[in-house]
Amino acid sequence: MADARSSLERNHSDAAVSKKPVKGSLQNRTPECLVQPIIAFYCFLGVNILAAAYSPIQDCDETYNYWEPTHYLTHGYGFQTWEYSPVYAIRSWLYISFHAIIIKFGSLLPFVSTKTSEFYLLRGVFALICSGCETRLFYIISRSLNPRIGIIFALVMLSSPGLFHASVSYLPSSFTMYSTMLGMAAFMDWKGGLKTAQGIFWFAAGGFVGWPFASLLMLPFLAEELLLACLSRQGIETVTRIVDGTVRSLLALALEVCIDSYFYKKLVAVPFNIVWYNVLGGSSKGPDLYGVEPWHFYLRNLLLNFNIWFILALSALPLLFLQFHFSHSSTSTQTRLRNLVFVLPFYIWLTVFSVQPHKEERFMYPSYPCLAVNAAISLHILLSAMGSSNPRAIFSRIPPKLKLALATALVLVAIDAGALRAVGIVTAYSAPLKIYGPLHGLIPTRPGDTVCLGKEWYRFPSSYFLPQGVRAKFIKSEFAGLLPGEFSEASHGFGVFAGTYLVPPGMNDENKEDFGKYTDLSHCSFLVDSYFPESQTTELEPHYVLEKQKWEEVICVSFLDGARTSLLGRTLWIPGISLLPERFQRKWGRYCLLRRRHEFADPTLSRSKTHGDQGYVSSDFKRPVASPYPGWSVETTKPLPYRPFRYGPKYHITMGLRTMQWDDWIELDNQFRKFHSEKARRIKERGNKCCKTAPVAFDGAVELLEELCDYLPQRYPSLFRKTPAGMDNLLTKESFNIFQRPLSEDPMAMAARMVQDDLAIMFEGPDGQYYLLAGAILLAGFWRLEDKFGMPLSEIHTSGDVPGFKEKLEKGMNNFFRRVKPESPVLRNNYFIQVDDNLAWSKSIGDEDAQGIGWNTAEKDQAIQHHWFRSERQSLRRLPRSGGVVFTIRTYFHPIKEIAEEPFVPGRLASAIRSWGDDVAKYKGREKYGKVLLEYLDKKSEEQQARGLVDHGGEFNSYPF
């Protein structure tokens, strides 16, 4: 042991200055490289560029967990998996941000003109980075171990199908593979001093930014450092290097925490979350939910992807022990230790992941360089033994030419098998990268078009393959797990990239299906489908390709039919020549992009509908996905304080329209129970007096139901849940089935139960006017649906004596209704004074079923406690399919005495009431309450002014609040 300690002390001390090759089994004094590093780099780059251009995406995680979030950062929309929900936060935005920045800058290049070119640009960058890392490790192996080992390492890396795909995959495991190469190179390179800090940093960076478990590969190198430190009495230097590397690593972790916390809007350490979910998540969670494989899965997979090289890699440790035992050369203890350290990482990785039930091919990516090193060392040992001049050695009895032939054949078989498998995979499975090409010019598309994915959802290559504005959607298939949702596109008032921190609806970490992720087949402009002649159909997975009357083929590309192709044909590329027996021939299906035939489009969705002289043509516009209302609760979320009145002296009669943000379409609050109960009572008591749909408007009313069942679970996921039939109310336990026929009740009554708003839909008639043909008017206070139903827009207003309508509003309102677009919703607010506390109907003006009622029948000068402030928030939007214009009328109802306590409100409201002209005053009934109300408001305003609350000209007023 003393001799061993002496040797280690000497060699470890020398390394601190300049580590020279130690004579032994793997290291010698031959030239540093048999091939110049720049030549090796070009070889690596050539193969990796081919991979970037042709390698299919083999893992749907690459698409949905990495390409789609990047698409969100670069183009504003994309699919979102549950891992990116801030509730779970087990994916790093630092990793995504690096690549989004590359794409953003790359898009400035003249040849990067489409989203697809952005995709291939980033793959090209992957190829460049991987080639640099491979070259670095090749050079260090050649210099520190043996040039022949370096050449064999390069051959393994160049010829293996596993590396062909991993090199350009947009996956943390590929990033970790890059960092593993740099980390190994740092630990191997003793020239100029030990580079422990660099090695620790690269392995830790791969662990923090990529995949935390990759740090396992560093353990043998750290163990070597610690052992050498103990035996060489250089503990302080070793600790210094380790601390240096640790500090560098912690800085990388700090950067990641900062970036991720910025995006998630909370303090989060993604590596910790990943480990917690995968290791400590509990029996009902964790990766096993996504499938388990037998212990030998990786043995079979690596044999397919590395063939002979994998067998050699597994043989490295036994061959080293045999060499140590039988070698007659003088090999130091340190050299033997180093050789052992170099081969152990692959065994550790393979063992640890083989015992895990959940297995995926990409989990092996970080160990691929380790496998290549092991294979190179094994072949080097064998070649050294075959070239031995020792007459007692077994290989010395074999003729030299035969040994050369055997060695050459071994290498050529490995290279050829790897090339045949790589070509086989590319030719068999590249169709998903090809079928979207016609959408970029050959086939006309427009924003709002949808490309639907059913059973082929997991092969979607990403939104980078679709034109801008064309969205991918999911239709129900036999898959019953959790599909990705969509990042919220909220912008106004939510800051930058709000989709990264807003909690998406319908997400869970238990792989439970969420029906809110699906769209109806009738909404699909295009459809992706595969067809294999002997495959079985189901109700959810028919052969759409064969439905020629409904769908036309845009493009179909051959796709390997694995069920009918032999094992050999699935494993390697086999030329399609007639000389081969039929059983060895590769069998093919078709992978197709289909376009809906116009004449067979859903009659309620895609047909052109013409109303009157102006005409309305159905639009394919789809409302953006709503982001969940931040912190919304049916118990605690208060009504918004709308106070839509301004200081006088002038009262302007206008429509008062302003742009509506899509997230804000429907407003719910903690008065939902009260409104819902009151509506239910009135539907039961008054029926079609309050809720009615004309037969011609039925499709439009159903479209409104569809819109509500889509929007509400997105915006208020704690109150509503999307279902295949429609939607469930989680509070009232109501289930809304909007697809059954006949419906359980009038569609407008059903819609009314979903929201706190009253609802009305106007449709264009043959004369070009818009008619009220569907409504649920339950809480209007002063007007009745039965009085207005079927009236045109102008008559609705003139019959109600709306002030200034003919002179100032009619022309503009009619023009607005004709021109309003589905993508341009608007809002307006108004207000009234009511002298009773009945939300649904103001009994102070008379009985709801009486005739000739109005302010003229109301009692005058009631006490102030009977005065209530009634505010309406109205949204107007056109339904894209039917063309109907939907009004939502949300009433906010408060005692005057309550709002008069608010700063500046009594003075502003009094000024507004006094500013009404005679016609407005008559319409709003000021004569009946003006004296009492204004006296009270003036008094409250004076009290506020005495306390120093003075609003000079409305400087504290932000309309409509």
Pairing mode, strands 770-776 and 691-693: antiparallel
Main-chain phi, psi angles of 649, to 5 degrees: -90, -5
Confidence of residue 605 (pLDDT cuts 50, 70, 90): very low
Domain boundary among 345, 370, 387: 387
Q: Which pLDDT does position 148 carry in this prediction?
A: 93
Distance, in Å, from the CA atom of 398 to the CA atom of 402, rounded to the nearest integer, reads 7
Task: Indicate the SS3 state at residue 572.
Answer: coil
- Look-up of token digits 């208020």: 716
DSSP character at residue 487: -
Separation of alpha carbons 302 and 314, rounded Å: 11
- Position 354 pLDDT exceeds 60: yes
Q: Is the pLDDT of residue 97 over 70?
A: yes
Decide if 691 contacts 752 (C-beta within 8 A). yes
- Report whether pLDDT(909) > 60: yes
Percentage of the chain modeled with pLDDT above 90 = 49
Percent of the chain past pLDDT 70, that is, above it, reads 88
Confidence at 8, pLDDT banded by 50, 70, 90:
very low
Looking at residue 299, its pLDDT comes to 94
Residue 371: its H or E element: helix 368-386
Please tell me the predicted confidence (pLDDT) of residue 801.
62
Of 841, 829, 833, 961, the closest CA to residue 905 belongs to 961
Does some domain include residue 693?
A: yes
Task: Give the Cα separation of 475 and 517 in Å (integer).
Answer: 8
Q: Residues 790-808: what's their mean pLDDT?
A: 69
Residue 612, both tokens: 């009157």
Please determine, for residue 956, whether its predicted confidence score (pLDDT) is greater than 60.
no
Residues sharing a CB contact under 8 Å with residue 671, sequence separation 6 or more, in sequence order: 639, 756
Based on its alpha-carbon atoms, the radius of gyration of the chain, rounded to whole angstroms, reads 36
pLDDT at 21: 42
Higher-confidence residue: 574 or 68? Answer: 68
Cα 598 to the chain's mean position, in Å?
Answer: 31
Binned at pLDDT 50, 70 and 90, residue 282 comes out as: low
* Residues sharing a CB contact under 8 Å with residue 425, sequence separation 6 or more, in sequence order: 55, 56, 58, 161, 165
* Residues 576, 579, 585, 588, CA torsion sign: positive
SS3 assignment, position 888: strand
pLDDT for res 612? 36
End-to-end CA distance of the chain: 85
pLDDT at 15: 47
Cα(868)–Cα(866) distance, integer angstroms: 6
Q: What is the mean pLDDT of residues 292-318?
A: 93
Which H/E stretch holds residue 39? helix 37-54
Cα-Cα-Cα-Cα torsion 206, 208, 210, 215, nearest 10 degrees, comes to 50
How many contiguous H segments (helices) and E segments (strands) does the chain have?
A: 29, 17
Residue 645's pLDDT is 79
Helices (H), 189-286: 196-205, 219-232, 235-264, 270-280
Q: Please answer whether residues 927 and 921 qualify as being in contact, where contact means their C-beta atoms are separated by less than 8 angstroms.
A: yes
Half-sphere exposure of 173 (CA within 13 A, CB side): 19
pLDDT band at 243 (very low <50, low <70, confident <90, very high): very high
Q: Please name which of 22, 43, 313 lies closest in space to residue 151, comparing C-alpha atoms.
A: 43
What integer pLDDT is reported at residue 616 of this predicted model?
66
**C-beta of residue 453 within 8 angstroms of C-beta of residue 460:** yes
Residue in 625, 591, 278, 264 with CA at minimum distance from that of residue 456: 591
pLDDT at 604 over 60: no
Whether the predicted pLDDT of 614 surpasses 50? no
Residues in the chain: 961
Quick one: which of 914, 467, 275 has its CA closest to 651?
914
Q: Which of 352, 387, 422 is the last residue of a domain?
A: 387
pLDDT at residue 387 above 90?
A: no
Distance CA 267, CA 910 (A): 48
Is there a cis peptide before residue 461, judged by omega within 30 degrees of 0? no
Segments forming the whole domain that contains residue 929: 657-947
Tokens representing 178 are: 């890059």
Where is average pLDDT lowest: 138-142, 555-559, 567-571, 670-674? 567-571
Q: Which residue has the higher pLDDT, 169 or 601?
A: 169
Q: Which residue is listed with tokens 């106004």? A: 492
Element (H, E) at 75: helix 68-75
Q: Is residue 427 part of a domain?
A: no
Q: Which residues contact 819 (CB under 8 A, 6 or more apart)?
A: none
At 29 the pLDDT is: 45
pLDDT at 5 over 60: no
Using 50, 70 and 90 to split pLDDT, how confident is the model at 171? very high
CB 564 within 8 Å of CB 570: no
pLDDT at 167 over 90: yes
Q: Which of 108-122, 197-211, 463-477, 836-850 has the lowest mean pLDDT?
A: 836-850
Model confidence at 128, in pLDDT bands (50, 70, 90)? very high
- From edge to edge, which strands make up the β-sheet containing 658-659? 658-659, 826-834, 868-878, 885-895, 758-764, 770-776, 691-693
| % helix, strand, coil for the chain, step of 5 | 50, 10, 40
Asked, for residue 732, whether it belongs to a domain, the answer is yes
Backbone angles phi, psi at 88, to 5 degrees: -110, -45
Query: Which position has the token pair 């999307």?
Result: 722
Give the span between the Cα atoms of 83 and 274, in whole angstroms. 10
Residue type at 452 in one-letter notation: C
pLDDT digits (tens, 9 = 90+) for 616-635: 677 888 899 999 999 999 99
- Report pLDDT for 806: 63
Among 931, 837, 823, smallest CA distance to 879 is for 823
List the beta bridge partners of residue 420.
none
**pLDDT for residue 608:** 32
pLDDT in tens, 649-695: 666 555 567 888 999 999 999 999 999 999 999 999 998 899 999 98
In a domain, 438, yes or no: no
Distance CA 228, CA 11 (A): 9
Is position 404 within any domain? no
Residues 130/168, Cβ–Cβ less than 8 Å: yes
Q: Are 466 and 541 in contact (CB under 8 A)?
A: no
| Count of domains forming the chain | 2
CB 875 within 8 A of CB 827: yes
368: enclosing H helix or E strand: helix 368-386
Cβ atoms < 10 Å from Cβ of 267: 9
Is 373 within 8 Å of 51 (Cβ atoms)?
no
Amino acid 602: pLDDT = 38
Q: What is the pTM of this model?
A: 0.68
* Dist CA 344 CA 333 (whole Å): 17
**Encoded tokens for 556:** 């179909």
Q: Is residue 529 in a domain?
A: no
Average confidence score pLDDT of the chain? 85
Tokens encoding 550 = 């409904």
Give the count of beta carbons closer than 10 Å to the beta carbon of residue 47: 22
CA 360 – CA 364 distance, rounded (Å): 8
Reported as a pLDDT band with limits 50, 70 and 90, residue 1 is very low
Give 650-715 as a 3 state SS string.
Answer: CCCCCCCCEECCHHHCCCCCCCHHHHHHHHHHHHHHHHHHCEEECHHHHHHHHHHHHHHHHHHHHH
Of the listed ranges 14-28, 150-164, 492-506, the least confidently predicted one is 14-28
Structure-token pair, residue 924: 């709003």
For residue 350, is it within any domain?
Answer: yes
> Which of 322, 354, 387 delimits the end of a domain?
387
Establish if 664 belongs to a structural domain: yes
Write the pLDDT tens digit of every residue in 45-87: 999 999 999 999 999 999 999 999 999 999 999 999 999 999 9
Q: With a cut of 60, say whether residue 610 has pLDDT above it.
A: no
- Contact (CB, 8 A) for 565 and 534: no
How many other β-carbons are positioned within 10 Å of the β-carbon of residue 62?
Answer: 19
φ, ψ for residue 763 (rounded to 5)? -125, 145
Distance CA(526)–CA(410), nearest Å, equals 49
Spatial distance between the Cα atoms of 827 and 825, rounded to a whole number of angstroms? 7
